Amino acid sequence: MDRALKKVVIDAGHGGDDPGTIANGITEKEYTLKISEYIHNRLDEMGIPNKLTRETDVTLDSTTRPKKVQSFYGGGDDVIVVSNHINAGGAEFSYHYII
């Protein structure tokens, strides 16, 4: 198994003009940023290179977001991208892989 140190880009989903899901007093863009900041800080503590796509409440449209992701470390096999989202829905758990 390849144990080489990976680089991580953490994408806080939504932001700015795009709030994501809003329900029960929760706005998705706020929580995805908090979750992403937590992951960023933990990776820093472990010495794992990482970057955040956004650190404030800014809009990243569907053209800007992927360009920003690749601007940090490129698109090589040594880069992991984590895109955080909190989806509203029923009681069934779901997850998505984006490659």
Give 2-16 pLDDT, tens digit per residue. Answer: 567 899 999 999 999
Q: 53 or 92: whose pLDDT is higher?
A: 53
The pair of three-digit structure tokens given for residue 16, joined into one six-digit string: 């700015």
Rounded distance between C-alpha atoms, residue 37 and residue 30, angstroms: 11
pLDDT of residue 89: 64
Nearest to 82 by CA among 49, 45, 52: 52
Strand 22-23 vs strand 26-27: parallel, antiparallel, or unpaired?
antiparallel
> Is residue 99's pLDDT more than 50?
no
Query: Tell me, what's the pLDDT at 95?
Result: 52
9-64: pLDDT as tens digits: 999 999 999 999 998 888 999 999 999 999 999 999 999 999 999 999 999 999 99
Could you tell me the residue ranges of all domains in the chain?
1-8+15-60+79-88
Smallest CA-to-CA distance from 37 within 22, 54, 25, 15 is with 54
Nearest-5° Cα angle at 63, 33 to 29 = 20
| Dist. CA 40–CA 86, nearest whole Å | 18
8 Å CB contact between 13 and 84: yes
